[in-house]
Structure 1
Amino acid sequence: MLLTIDVGNTNITLGVFKEEILLGTFRMTTKRSRTSDEYGFTICGILEHRSICPQDIHSVIIASVVPDIMHSLTSGIIKYLNVRPLIVSAGIKTGIRIVTENPKEIGPDRIVDAVAGYELFGGPVIVVDFGTATTYDLIGPNGTFEAGITAPGLETAGRSLWGGAAMLPAIEIRKPASILAKETISSMQAGLVYGAIGQTEYIIRKIKEESGYSDAKVVATGGLGKIIAPETDSIDEYDPELTLNGLRLIYYKNKKVDR
């Protein structure tokens, strides 16, 4: 079995694949103070709780935007799963050619999403990832990573809102019953969610307009994408497992298939 690990700024998302079948997904908070034993023990415990034997994990691939935790995380995997993980980094085979001004600036999470978007949906494709940041990446018809846009994520914007205004409370981010809010909480929810919908539609429209790819498919992922995707016709597909599938695809481009 293959264990895929997506290390984000807020959460670590794990997925277990048996060939192309995703058996389960799990989440941990991204804490920078964990030891290798804590990572290894926690991952093994999660797997066992889901009736997956840790000894059945023969391969691991990781994409991370948090370098500080990588030594402890990889050490924990080696120690507890007896597997040396493949890390998504420069030089790895992806099938995507980056044609931006500085390819090294493109984060591994965005490369993984680009691979999944292109391999699963073809090109041109726009991949929108609603995470700590909301990212919009354009992959051309021949698998070229042509452009990327980065905006604050919904939770990031929310924390900035209530963290910077003493009289505004922390709230649950969800779509209110109406944009015509009549009290503080629904007012904040309306601003955050409808603002994100408007941003999404405008940025996608401008990407298509300036690139000339008017027929580009738009694929969304990320936990908060489930709030935005149903509210706009600008998004064609919402795939919460897009990043994990991208990791699976990259692994098999670099290693022989496990049997």
Structure 2
Amino acid sequence: MLLAIEQGNTNTLFAVHDGQAWIAQWRSATHSTRTADEYAVWLSQLLAMAGLQFGVFNGCIISSVVPQSIFNLRNLSRRYLKVEPLVIGENADLGIEVRIDKPSEAGADRLVNAVGAHVEYPGDLIVIDSGTATTFDIIAADGGFEGGLIAPGINLSMEALHQAAAKLPRVAIQKPQRIIGKDTVVAMQSGVFWGYIGLIEGLIARIKGEWERPMTVIGTGGVASLFHGATMAIDTFDSDLTIRGLLEIWRRNTSKS
């Protein structure tokens, strides 16, 4: 039984794989100061609700973009699961080439997505991960991570608009029924939503123009579903991309050992 932990800047996902399928998934708000014991109290109750307990696990893999949290997540695995975790960026062999100038700077989430995409989709790929930041990552047909682009996430942009302009309210992101807003809220929603569609479509076109070979575009991440049906530039939406990558990395490393 494997516990996969995928920690982003906003949310942390805990997922349980029984060797055949993912049988449970839970999300928690990311707090960099949360201790191993605090994680254990929260997680033990959710495991019990699913008929599980800490003793059933024989593996743990951690991907985090919050460096100060890794210590506590590692201690959670060691102290309560009684297993030494695989940590992306430390002791986990990804099995792919990272073809950027400074490989150590590549985010763990981006590399895990590269693995998850390559094992599922053939050919050259663009992976768009929409979260706190929106990343566009290029994965070659052989699985190599070729680099990409990083832009502010859609929620971050809406929050910045509210914070910087005194008369603009905080509003929820959603697809407006019409482009031209007739009030402030709809005008903000339309500007940010369709502005991001323009960002996505424009960057995809420029990436493909520079790459000069056919590419499949995959959308994933917490807010990717917002764009479903709003653009034809994204070929498929895959919410399981990251945990698929974590499972594949785990299998590659355990098969070696």
TM-score bucket (shorter structure): over 0.9
Deviations 1:171-216 (A, max 9, x none): 1111112112111111111111111111111111111110112x21
**Corresponding residue SS for 2:28:** strand
Following superposition of structure 1 onto structure 2, how do residues 93-242 of structure 1 map, counting pairs within 5 Å? 93-213=93-213, 215-242=214-241
Give the Cα separation in 1 of the matches to 2:188 and 2:15.
34
Do 1:41 and 1:80's aligned partners in 2 also have CA atoms closer than 8 Å? no
**Corresponding residue SS for 1:31:** coil
Do 1:38 and 1:76's aligned partners in 2 also have CA atoms closer than 8 Å? no
Deviates more, 1:152-161 or 1:73-82: 73-82
Do 2:8 and 2:64's aligned partners in 1 also have CA atoms closer than 8 Å? yes
Give the Cα separation in 1 of the matches to 2:41 and 2:83.
14
Give the Cα separation in 1 of the matches to 2:179 and 2:36.
47
Give the Cα separation in 2 of the matches to 1:196 and 1:254.
38
Gapped runs of 5+ residues in structure 1? none
Per the alignment, residue 255 of structure 1 pairs with 254
Aligned residues: 256
Identity of aligned residues (%): 36
**Corresponding residue SS for 1:169:** coil
Give the superposition deviation at 1:97: 0.8
Deviations 1:77-130 (A, max 9, x none): 222222221101156322221111111111111000000111110220111100
Give the Cα separation in 1 of the matches to 2:188 and 2:180.
11
Do 1:40 and 1:79's aligned partners in 2 also have CA atoms closer than 8 Å? no
Distance 1:216 1:90, change over 3 A: farther
**Root mean square deviation of aligned Cα:** 1.5
TM-score by length of 1: 0.94
**Amino acid in the other structure paired with 2:190:** A
Do 2:126 and 2:218's aligned partners in 1 also have CA atoms closer than 8 Å? yes
Gapped runs of 5+ residues in structure 2? none
Do 2:62 and 2:73's aligned partners in 1 also have CA atoms closer than 8 Å? no
**Amino acid in the other structure paired with 1:223:** G
Distance 1:230 1:25, change over 3 A: farther
Deviations 1:112-160 (A, max 9, x none): 0000111110220111100110000001122221121000001111111
Distance 1:102 1:141, change over 3 A: same
Do 2:173 and 2:189's aligned partners in 1 also have CA atoms closer than 8 Å? yes
Give the Cα separation in 2 of the matches to 1:65 and 1:11.
11
Do 1:44 and 1:80's aligned partners in 2 also have CA atoms closer than 8 Å? no
Give the Cα separation in 2 of the matches to 1:175 and 1:227.
7
Do 2:86 and 2:92's aligned partners in 1 also have CA atoms closer than 8 Å? no
**Amino acid in the other structure paired with 1:235:** I
TM-score by length of 2: 0.95
**Amino acid in the other structure paired with 2:247:** R
Per the alignment, residue 39 of structure 1 pairs with 39
**Corresponding residue SS for 1:142:** coil
Give the Cα separation in 2 of the matches to 1:142 and 1:77.
33
Per the alignment, residue 48 of structure 2 pairs with 48
Per the alignment, residue 18 of structure 2 pairs with 18
Give the Cα separation in 1 of the matches to 2:5 and 2:153.
21
**Corresponding residue SS for 2:166:** coil
**Amino acid in the other structure paired with 2:69:** I
